Structure 1
């Protein structure tokens, strides 16, 4: 009986682990695309660049880390978003090479979050996007979500363990609105080391700024490579 109980516990842990398995990358499936497929591209609202702090787990630690990097964050927030915004054109051009029917679509901020959950295996979206097929008159929905960009810095409690790095993180995925299957799925988390001293005088941070723009270009390159 004791062995049976242990077996049940182990099985429960195993199944729980299966449920939490992250979605792996899905290479673009050209067989699911043709010149008649209607593609809609949704881009999340991209906030200004800033410093992303990780590892400062307590509230006080995080507050100390944010304050210590406030000058850098203020500088990053002052940068134009033109370069990072141009990532959407890379995605548009990529899909335009596969089909003639490509457009940017508008969705309210909470539209995607309010979609019902979809019970499917890996390779299928966790939200049920199928209702958007008729609503938007498209066959494939592409979502580009850039949720962090600027600089990245690791902390241990309130002590920095790395210098800031150029940083862009997000995800791009494409969903077949007939089946809710991923046509493509890719996360990106690009960090670029700063050359030389990062804490330059006069709070202009040229090293961090240059590393950030390099990270943006690397991400745009990886987005373009989706369609090769």
Structure 2
């Protein structure tokens, strides 16, 4: 349990240090998002950050003893959470690539997980400017644009006010999907993802928590749909040549 307590304190510190940073606002996926400067279909890399383990989170339990109490009170749920699969999220990268290929976009799937923390930060007030410097990836992967899927939180959230729970647990998937123009380091698309699903009136059903388990897989499916639907709907340049899969 000790590592969870230290993780909670660390997360709180990160949250407080980041309060002054404005959250990135959505950028619509426009009709030219998948084109290059020559108005032809762009070469798009598809990358995904490393998926986190499925876990429980207790925001508001903001002292060590509070978090220890919340962890102990929800230990059965945490134990169950650790058994849940995330395969449908892991396959999203390939599904995104398939959706782009249906639009005759030339796609390169980047097999290794992208380490976003290793990229240099960029401080900017430009609404569509990327917060990380992706320029080094242009030559490395020989692509014009990079579609990134980043899902740093997967599992269940139950809010607390110190020792007191203020909500029932809800299944959550949070993160973002975005398309970066590597020539300008700007977003051609930015989609915040904040999916949550409740189990309904009855959730406390250990050891398998069927209501919350169903909510979890609903949240996974909703997060996938939120990424794939805009890609299915977007137009590409007329006459763009069909390209082979990579």
Question: Could you say which TM-score interval applies, normalised by the shorter chain?
Answer: 0.7 to 0.9
Which residues in structure 2 correspond to 1:70-219 (within 5 Å)?
Answer: 70-107=75-112, 110=115, 112-120=116-124, 121-201=126-206, 203-219=207-223
Please point out which of 68, 79, 101 is paired with 1:63. 68
Which blocks of at least 5 consecutive residues in structure 1 are unaligned?
A: 1-18
Q: Name the TM-score, length of structure 1 as normaliser.
A: 0.83
Conservation of the 8 A alpha-carbon contact between 1:52 and 1:148: no
Q: Secondary structure at the match of 1:149?
A: strand
Distance 2:205 2:123 in 1: 51
Distance 1:98 1:119 in 2: 34
Conservation of the 8 A alpha-carbon contact between 2:47 and 2:113: no
Q: What is the aligned partner in structure 2 of residue 25 from structure 1?
A: 26
1:215 shift after superposition: 0.9
Distance 2:152 2:60 in 1: 18
1:88 shift after superposition: 2.5
1:107 shift after superposition: 4.9
Q: Secondary structure at the match of 1:184?
A: strand
1:32 shift after superposition: 3.5
Conservation of the 8 A alpha-carbon contact between 2:130 and 2:180: yes
Which has more radius of gyration? Answer: 1
Which blocks of at least 5 consecutive residues in structure 2 are unaligned?
A: 1-19, 234-246
Across the aligned residues of Structure 1 and Structure 2, the Cα RMSD in angstroms comes to: 2.0
Q: Name the TM-score, length of structure 2 as normaliser.
A: 0.77
1:196 shift after superposition: 3.5
